[in-house]
Amino acid sequence: MAKILLEVITPDRLLVREEVDMVVAVATEGEFGVLPGHAALLTLLEIGEARYKKDGHIEYMAIAGGIAEVFKDRMTILTEAAELGREIDIDRAKKAAERALERLRKKEGVDIARADAALRRAVTRIKVAEKAKGA
């Protein structure tokens, strides 16, 4: 059966390089799925959950925004940070969420966009880690 070669690349590492059956990620317009034979695509990614299916198993990832390119059964995700669900430290993400919420509550002298992005990264990590536990 046809596969997609998925690569998830951060400045530090190649998180994923796998032949997979399906990928789902979050673009600015919402969630989208990629199956083998998908049309060429270049899109911005939101901070959010991504997942891929391989041999009937679903692997969950937290993606901190970035770019996705699909071309000829190859999908590349370039992102500042990405983690597999099972490697996420939930306590660290919870603390990051609390810090971001605290900043957002203060309002004055706070970079709202930055705090909001930190909150969304943390919430995504918590959600993805919980899903990976149950997977």
- Which stretches of the chain bind ligand ATP, using CB under 6 A? 12, 64, 81, 83, 87-89, 92-93, 96, 118, 121, 125
Rounded least distance, CB 61 to ligand ATP, Å: 10
Q: How far is the CB of 90 from ligand ATP (least distance, A)?
A: 7
N- to C-terminal Cα separation, the chain:
24
Q: Could you tell me the smallest distance in angstroms from the CB atom of residue 125 to ligand ATP?
A: 5
Q: Which is nearer to ligand ATP, 4 or 123 (CB)?
A: 123
Nearer to ligand ATP, 41 or 135 (CB): 135
Collapsing DSSP to helix, strand or coil, 118 comes out as helix
Complex with ligand ATP: residue 12 or 108, whichever CB lies closer:
12
Query: Can you tell me the distance from the alpha carbon of 73 to that of 83, in angstroms, rounded to the nearest whole number?
Result: 23
**Residue 55 Cα distances to 3, 18, 72, 87, angstroms:** 11, 11, 21, 21
Nearer to ligand ATP, 20 or 66 (CB): 66
| β-pair type (30-34, 22-27) | antiparallel
